[in-house]
Amino acid sequence: MTMTRTIKRWVGFGLLGAVGLGLAGCTDGLLDENPPNVIVADNLYTSLDGFRDGLNALYAQARLERDGMSGTNDIRTEMMNMGTDNAFSLYPAGFEHVWNDWGTYNNPQVDFYLDTWTWMYRMINAANTIVHRADNPDIQWTDAQKNEVLAEARFFRAWCYRHLTYLWGPVPLNLEESSGASVKTDWTRAPVADVRKQMEQDLLFAEQYLPDMPEVPGRLSKAVAEHYLAELYLAMDEPQKAEVEAKKVTESGNYHLITQRYGVNANQPGVPFMDMFQDGNVDRDQGNTEAIWVFKYQINTPGGGQSIMRRSWVGRYYSLKGVQVAPEYGGRGIGRIGITPWAIDLYEPQDDRGSIYAIRKFYLYNNAANLPKGKELGDTLWLDWSKAKEKDPGWPSTRKWDWTDPLDPTGEEQYEDQAYVRLAETYLLLAEAQMKNGELADAAATINKLRDRAGASEITPDQVTMDFILDERSRELLTEEERRYTLVRTHTLLERVQKYNPLAAATIQPRDTVFPIPQAVIDANIGAKMEQNPGY
Amino acid sequence: MCKLVSRWLLPALACAVLALCASVPLAAQQVTVHGTVVTEQNDPLPGAAVSVEGTTAMTTSNAEGAFSIAAPSDTATLVVSYAGYTTAHVPLGGHTSVVVKMQAATQLEGLVVVGYGTQKAKDVTGSVATVSSDKMEDRGATTVEQALEGTVPGVSITTGGGGAEPNMSIMIRGQNSLTASNSPLIVVDGIPYEGSISEINQNDVQSISVLKDASATAIYGSRGSNGVVLITTKKGRGAPSFGYSGYAGMQQITNVPRLMNGAEFAQFKCDRVNGGENCDDALTATELDNLNAGRSTDWVGLGMHTGYQQQHNLSFSGSAQGIQYYIGGSLLDVSGVAKNDKFDRYTLRANVNSGYSSWLTMGTNTQMSYTDRGGLPVDFTDAFFMNPLTNAYNDDGTLTITPWPEDLVWANPLQNLLVKNDDVTRRVFTSNFIQLDAPFLPGLSYRLNAGLDYAAGKVGTYYGRNTKTGYDTQGYASTQDNTRFDWTVENLLKYDRTFGKSHVDLTGLYSFQGNNVDEDHLTSQGFPNDVLTYYQANLAALVTPSYVVSHSGLISQMARLNYDYDSRYLLTLTARRDGYSGFGASNKYGVFPSVAVGWNLSNEAFWPKASWWNLLKLRASYGQNGNQAIPPYRTLARLSDDSYIANGQTAPGFIPSTLGTPDLKWETTTSLNLGADFGLLNNRLSGSLDVYSSKTHDLLVKRTISPVHGITSIYDNVGELQNRGVELNLSSLNVNGRDFGWTTDFNIAANRNKIVSLYGDTTSDVGSGWFIGHPIDVLYDYKFAGIWQEGDDIADSAQPDAHPGDVKIVDLNGDGKINPDDRTFLGSLYPDYTANMTNTFRYKNFSLSGLFQTVQGVERENGLLGMNLVQTGVRRNTIYRTYWTPDNPSNTVPRNSDKSNPLSVPFLQDASFIRLKDVTLSYDLPASLTNRLGTESLRVYVSGRNLWTHTAWTGMDPEFTNGNQRGIPLQRVLIGGVNVQF
């Protein structure tokens, strides 16, 4: 009995020990990490497809320019065009008081500034990563394929430094892929001239290797690089080179101004100038011969993006008695941005670009529920823009971004394609270069191409001045161009805001022509003091 | 191999244990012992557990305290135990009839669960606090955290927000880590527990041990630096017993900040938008209609109701023929103060231990649970913000989709009442063991623990067209399938033996553990109709799947020596080595040693017997712990998806989103603890005092880096952090009469923490918000200096563009301008001290107990005081205040303008509070009555939680996180309950 128990005990002990130790086999690989759902740089950038995926993200990031910084609020173009001669803050929220009030509101702790900064460097790091990893000799691709990838990546890098230098002046020049092993705490700001030198190299490379026409609509072509080279050379005060680059676009034969009605809605009342802003007419394959670079959108599609241009630029007309949201009024806006009275009044009466098809200046009563006394449905309500003030629901607005989803007429987002760079602007860069090169007759002829198309009167060479070109840019590119950049580039921001923006004229100071470096950038630079821009 | 183990072997093992538990061994019967168990006052003590040492025989004393039990011989030793009394060892010495007099236990007697085993409290060298079930019951608690609240010094349990399912967090001895987790390790029946503690039935808990110092926690090595909470569930004992406990009651709100009503809102809006003139123009048609009709919508009021909660537990427990069993079932049903806020939990627990023979025992502690969190509560944040001059209901009584026709952004804050939401979790948590004593060496035993935790969660949500979300998207659905599969295997070798006056207890451990979370998410929108709710992704216009995968592993070895000589000199040596998958290839392993000594002075010969100071023990410990608590995969540089389109189709895109840190390693805390346990006046007054100091180095941090990298933060090991503190725990038996008794339990704790170094030098990291010499969390911002008044020289001040009524800022460096150089440290986010006091009064069979809780010396920002919460044009509501005007020159509240505080200077408030946390009045039916009812014991009680709070804080609740100051309010709970044993 005792013997049996002892044996059982030994056997039990042995068995249990064996099970316990056997389970130790389970520890094989237990401490190794192989996440099945995670993409890392080492396994993405190993083929042409992987690099294309990296580039697609850069396109998606660039497209964000017309989306909100926080959801569908605070459109990212704010720093690029508000508080200028042709745009003021109509319904300022939070930090947006800066565009009318400057002063205390323009300070280094504005989150929006930091978010813009971070967005740009995020793209730069993505581009640097592609540039760096394209050197990997194990990748199976042709030189042409590799160079086209590099051309797109380097274009986007230059595009980001363009934003950064116009907004902040000297900024850190980061050309390396960031890695956890080499975190820097002592960034220094590179002079603008150095940054532009790099932009020039990147854009020249892009010009060389980008295709004449993109294989897929929405991708970059040679002309985009040339367009930005022209602008860069103007900024670098090298107008001869600028003229050469601009002409490469205008004389390529690939691009033509829209001069006739076309496409969807061509049989509706309207003007040729506005046809290229209609959904279905925007890109080259839809008939827009003027489009150089188009942001592509697609509703209900992963990667389809969204824009809030209409939400930002169209006013709160539905707060007027007797008027409610309607697709024919563009949909629902929240009027964050208003066009200055000067910009509204900048057109000759016959100029299509200032016509009722381009700028909404009246509404027809369409809401029986709360009609004002003595008014009937269909009566006209003319807007009054003689005096700009904040929170005015009856303010004229551009019709370039009118768009509604028929299933959601009051929706916030929009999903139609949008031209981001178009030939008209290249002409205006060309005219500026020609003027600077003393070719006033050529400059006038270039400008008249746009004026003829719009039905405005032609100008004579002696009318060509920097001021006139800046006015013409506002007439042609209202709400499209990064207006602040143009004014910073031509050193006219302060003067023109004081002259044409009644809300900001008294508050803007010389320091406001360059934004304060975000405090988080200075705070994180614990290894070396990063200088703030003067006056902050 | 691993799959084989995890899928088959462990479940098989669990089944085998259960099966073996049911097999019944027989013990030889030789004599029958009859006896009575009595208290010191010679009152009979019913329900005491009686067993015979060296056998598996067990019984309990009856209502008269009597028992009879079979013993192998009349020289055997009886072991009699009862909660709250010192366990008695009674040698029969030839007798078969005995009277066992039980002595009331003090804290220092009885067994303490210390992790990988138990220890006598008087032999414990570390800082360990234990709470038994009788301190936790009858409090109307719904979770373990609520039951533990206020009972242990240095353990702060914070109610961060309201809701049917408690929103609580546990922190032990302050914050040790900058960005890694500060939550303690939770161990249930020996197995690490992840996920919601609220899924455990707190009523099944027998005791909770909290391990606080390095020596006590060192056995959990890498997991121990934030302390360890050991939860032990109930075991069966004595004669079969059937028990019911349950309560039911209601929940009410305690406090809601006063919001503006419709008329006040209209005036506010007019003042802000139109400078107090042409007020009708400032309002939209809907607002004007409601104002003129005298209507005002109390959105918060519409979202609230009186909630209820009830819990019912049935248990069947006992021990017979070597099997101890506890079978418990429970139902918890909570309906919170927010409409549609529900938390239902059903649990079934089987705890079974069986001795196959004297050398082989095995057992299981298993809980199966079903938790239903279905229904989306009314969104209180939306309700707080919603304009009171808008319409909740249509004329036909249905909820409006957008209550404000002129401002369509706003959904109806009550829309969640219309949302279909199902959210259930089914979970099995099982801890199993087999233990056998070695045949060749007395005192040597081997134990195999196997734990499994499998939780399957399923969430489905559908927003129909009657909600704004669904209206905008033509129906919006989201579904989630979540699984958690955690397993633990522990091999424990134990050697426990007494040699003369020396006692040696040696433990060795080899364990491994896997944690696996897998989630499949799917959102879809754009459906033909609402009929199929979330079962129609196949018909959607847009479908977006996403996945969460988090797998991690841990391999550990541990050795512990407990040595005591004559219960006078005590020594504990521990070392643990852990490997964690989340660290860099060369840094996976860390070693964490500790040493602790103790000296029971009162057991020395020189200690005067029968003195007023009857007990004194000194303790000291020093050791290291680790913290691995960062998510897996942080060593890898990852990309996130960011797609574009090509020809109308998705063109996949990826962008670098995190930086990898290949050398990531353990965060290590080194700490020193000095403690004393004492008893005075024959333990009428007893308690403990602990002081500690700890330093954490190689802090695992998510530090902010320059955005120039394109990525703004990175996981890293940096710097050093210090925590110092003191904890005092006192128990006093103030009055101990036959009819009347009064006891007081009091604890107080203070902790100070500061950053010692960061990157090898004394440079602070402003970007990350970390400053040398300051606590981890600081508020670093502009300092409020009052309000600019008319007549002040504003033009020549540092704020030349300010207006009278605007916030004045301290120009800290006096350079005549306000810029980021004027930021400074504001407030105090950590309390000076926290304290809890429980008083219990007993009069005959009545008992009244109340817990006061206080947190003192906290000052933080009250986000409800912000000036721009209403948004431009006044689109949202805010709290009612009287603003600065020339006639009301306030120096605390600015003028009513969205420009009166352009730099968003924070408004601080004192968040200290005193709270009457709970009060319980209970009545035990006397034996004469229970006998007549045929029950063993019967207790009825009423209890209330969160009854009264005193604070200067004007937000929702001083304890709530900033984000929840606008959430579901804290609830007051009033319940009545009954506990009965048959």
Contacts of A105 in chain B (CB under 8 A): 902
Residue B26 has pLDDT above 70, yes or no: no
The arithmetic mean of pLDDT across residues B325-352, rounded, is 93
The whole-angstrom distance between residue B265's C-alpha and the CA centroid of its chain comes to: 39
Highest mean pLDDT out of B29-43, B433-447, B817-831:
B817-831
Structure tokens at A393: 């629901």
| Mean pLDDT of the residues in chain B | 87
Residue A66 bridge partners (DSSP): none
pLDDT of residue B49 exceeding 80: no
**Percent of chain A, pLDDT > 70?**
97
CA angle A372, A378, A381 (to 5 degrees): 55
Does A27 score more than 90 pLDDT? Answer: no
CA angle A135, A136, A138 (to 5 degrees): 140
| Distance of alpha carbon B684 from alpha carbon B366, whole angstroms | 39
Rounded Cα gap, residues B298 and B387, in angstroms:
9
Mean pLDDT of B296-318: 93
The enclosing H or E element of A8 equals helix A2-23
* φ and ψ at residue B562, rounded to 5 degrees: -110, 125
Tell me which of A26, A45, A179 to substitute to probe the interface with B (most B C-beta atoms closer than 10 Å).
Answer: A26
The answer to whether the CB atoms of B765 and A20 lie below 8 A apart is no
Place of tokens 């009469």: B737
Q: What is the mean pLDDT of residues A504-533?
A: 95
Q: Enumerate helices (H) and strands (E) in chain B, giving the number of each.
A: 12, 48
Q: Is A36 on the interface with B (CB under 8 A)?
A: yes
Q: Are B639 and A520 inside 8 Å of each other by CB?
A: no
Higher pLDDT, B737 or A517: A517
The pLDDT of residue B59 is 74
A221-230 confidence digits (pLDDT tens): 999 999 999 9
CA gap A116, B766 in Å, rounded: 21
- By the 10 Å C-beta count (0-12 exposed, 13-18 middle, 19+ buried), A251 is classed as exposed
HSE of B783 in the Cβ direction (CA atoms, 13 Å)? 12
Res. B4: pLDDT tops 60: no
Report pLDDT digits (tens) over B581-627. 888 888 889 899 999 999 999 888 888 877 788 889 999 999 988 88
Query: Confidence band (pLDDT; 50, 70, 90) for B105?
Result: low
Question: DSSP assignment, residue A490?
Answer: T
List Cβ neighbours of A513 (8 Å cut-off, separation of 6 or more). Answer: A488, A493, A494
Q: Which residues of B touch A94 (CB under 8 A)?
A: 868, 872
What does the pLDDT average to over B851-863?
93
Side-chain half-sphere of B29: how many Cα atoms within 13 Å? 10
Residue B24 pLDDT:
39
Per-residue pLDDT at B14 exceeds 60: no
pLDDT at A155 over 50: yes
Give the CA-trace dihedral at A433, A439, A441, A444, to 10 degrees: 10
Listed range (A493-497, B183-187, B631-635) with the worst mean pLDDT: B631-635
Q: Is A386 helix (H, G, I), strand (E, B) or coil?
A: coil
Residues in a beta bridge with B156: B171
CB B466 within 8 A of CB B399: yes
Q: Compute the distance between CA of residue B291 and CA of residue B283 in angstroms, rounded to an integer.
A: 9
Res. B16: pLDDT tops 60: no
Q: Is the pLDDT of residue B631 over 80?
A: no
Within 131-150 of A, beta carbons closer than 8 Å to B belong to: none
Cβ(A262)–Cβ(A281) under 8 Å? yes
Smallest CA-to-CA distance from B328 within B344, B358, B351, B345 is with B351
**Which comes out higher in pLDDT, residue B923 or B437?**
B923
Residue B829, pLDDT > 50, answer: yes
Measure Cα distances from B463 to A237, B300, B349 in Å: 58, 22, 37
Give Cα separations from B543 to A36, A60, B472, B539 (angstroms). 22, 19, 16, 9
pLDDT in tens, B250-295: 999 988 999 999 999 999 999 998 888 888 888 988 999 999 999 9
More confident residue, A3 or B418: B418
pLDDT value at A1 more than 60: no
Query: CB distance A27–B555 less than 8 Å?
Result: yes
**If you write DSSP's letter for every residue of B240-278 in order, what string do you get?**
-EEEEEEEEEEEEE-----B--HHHHHHHHHHHHHTTSS
pLDDT digits (tens, 9 = 90+) for B780-796: 999 999 999 999 999 99
Tokens of B891: 């120096």
Q: Please tell me which of the candidates A31, A108, A128 has its beta carbon nearest to residue B588.
A: A31
Look up tokens 């009166």; give the residue: B900
pLDDT average, residue stretch B910-916 = 95
Give the bridge partners for B588, in sequence order. Answer: none
- B707 contacts A118? CB cut-off 8 A: yes
Percent of chain B scored above 90 by pLDDT? 52
Q: A391: which 2 tokens?
A: 């929170």
Hey, are the CB atoms on A178 and B656 less than 8 Å from each other? Answer: yes
| Closest CA relative to residue B522, chosen from B475, B481, B458, B479 | B479
DSSP element (H, E) containing B612: none
* Bridge partners for A159 per DSSP: none
pLDDT greater than 90 at residue B371: yes
Report CA-CA distances (Å) from B74 to B92, B101, B322, B688, B925: 6, 19, 20, 41, 37
Which among B448, B633, B661 is the nearest to A180, CB-wise?
B661
Q: How many helices (H) and strands (E) does chain A have?
A: 19, 11
Of B171, B174, B147, the closest CA to residue B157 belongs to B171
- Give me the residue from B439, B581, B759 closest to A10, CB to CB: B439
B-chain residues near A124 (CB < 8 A): 710
Q: Do B662 and A180 touch (CB under 8 A)?
A: yes
Residue A188 near chain B (CB below 8 Å): no
For the cut 80, the answer to whether the pLDDT of residue A2 exceeds it is no
Min Cα–Cα distance to chain A from B425, Å = 24
Query: How close does chain B come to A229, measured CA to CA in Å?
Result: 24
Rounded Cα–Cα distance for residues B724 and A1 (Å): 61
The pLDDT of residue B104 is: 62
The DSSP code sequence of A276-310 is TTSTTSSSGGGT-TTEEEEE---TTSTT---B-HH
**Pairing mode of beta strands B971-981, A337-339:** unpaired
Is the confidence at residue B470, as pLDDT, over 90?
yes
Q: Nearest-CA neighbor of A65 among A518, A479, A493?
A: A479
Q: What is the pLDDT of residues A34-87, one digit of tens each?
A: 788 888 888 899 999 999 999 999 999 999 999 999 888 899 999 999 999 999
CB B709 to CB A109 under 8 A? Answer: no
* Residues from chain A contacting residue B579 (CB–CB below 8 Å): 31
More confident: A322 or B27: A322
A280 touches chain B (CB under 8 A): no
**pLDDT at A173 (0 to 100):** 98
Is 60 exceeded by the pLDDT of residue B23?
A: no
Q: Does A172 touch chain B (CB under 8 A)?
A: yes
- Burial code (b: 16+ CB inside 10 Å, e: under 16) for A389-421 equals ebbbbbbbbbbbbbbbbeebebbbbbbbbbbbb
pLDDT of A21 reads 67
Q: Which two tokens stand for residue B149?
A: 């609240």
Q: Give every CB contact of residue B841 below 8 A, 6+ residues apart in sequence.
A: B740, B741, B742, B847, B848, B849
Contacts B803 to A, Cβ<8 Å = none
| E-only strand ranges, B566-641 | 569-580, 589-600, 613-627, 638-641
pLDDT value of position B41 = 64
| B338 DSSP 8-state letter | B
What was the pLDDT predicted at A15? 74
Pick from A63, A109, A302: which is nearest to B650 by CB?
A302
- B708: tokens are 């120039």
Q: How confident is the model at residue B937 (pLDDT cuts 50, 70, 90)?
A: confident
Instruction: Give chain B positions within 8 Å (CB) of A6.
Output: 439
CA separation for the pair B255, B972 (Å, rounded): 9
Q: Which residue has the higher pLDDT, B170 or B921?
A: B921
Inter-chain residue contact B872 with A94, CB threshold 8 Å: yes
Residues A44/A65, Cβ–Cβ less than 8 Å? no
Which of A30, A125, A412 lies closest to B710 in CB terms?
A: A125
CA–CA distances in Å: residue B754 to residues B723, B759, B855, B913? 7, 15, 20, 24
Q: Distance (Å, rounded) from C-alpha B417 to C-alpha B705?
A: 43
Give residue B913's Cα distance to chain centre: 20
B540 in helix, strand or coil? coil
Q: Find the closest chain A residue to B581 by CA distance.
A: A31
Query: What is the predicted pLDDT for the residue at A460?
Result: 97
Interface test with B, best of A149, A523, A533 (most B CBs within 10 A): A523
β-strand partners of B423: B459
Q: From the CA of A20, how many Å to the nearest CA of chain B? A: 6
Q: Which residues contact B535 (CB under 8 A, 6 or more apart)?
A: none
When computed from its CA atoms, the radius of gyration of chain B, rounded to whole angstroms, is: 31
Residue A280 to residue B771: CA distance in whole angstroms: 56
Average pLDDT over residues A177-192: 94
ipTM: 0.94
Tell me the chain A residues in contact with residue B1 when contact means C-beta distances shorter than 8 Å: 25-26, 28
How many residues are given for chain A? 536
- Is A57 in contact with B642 (Cβ distance < 8 A)? yes
Closest CA to B219 of B421, B508, B583: B508
Summarize the confidence of residues B528-552 as an average pLDDT: 93
Query: Cβ–Cβ of B654/A28 closer than 8 Å?
Result: no
**Strand B589-600, strand B833-843: pairing:** unpaired
Rounded CA separation A47/B835 (Å): 63
Say which residues have a Cβ less than 8 Å from residue A385's Cβ, sequence separation at least 6.
A341, A344, A361, A395, A396
Q: What residues of A are in contact with residue B635 (Cβ under 8 Å)?
A: 33
Judged by average pLDDT, the poorest of A328-332, B695-699, B809-813 is B695-699
Q: Decide which of B19 and B926 is more confident.
A: B926
Q: In what order do the strands lie in the sheet with B97-101?
A: B66-71, B31-38, B97-101
Residues of B in contact with A21 (CB under 8 A): 491
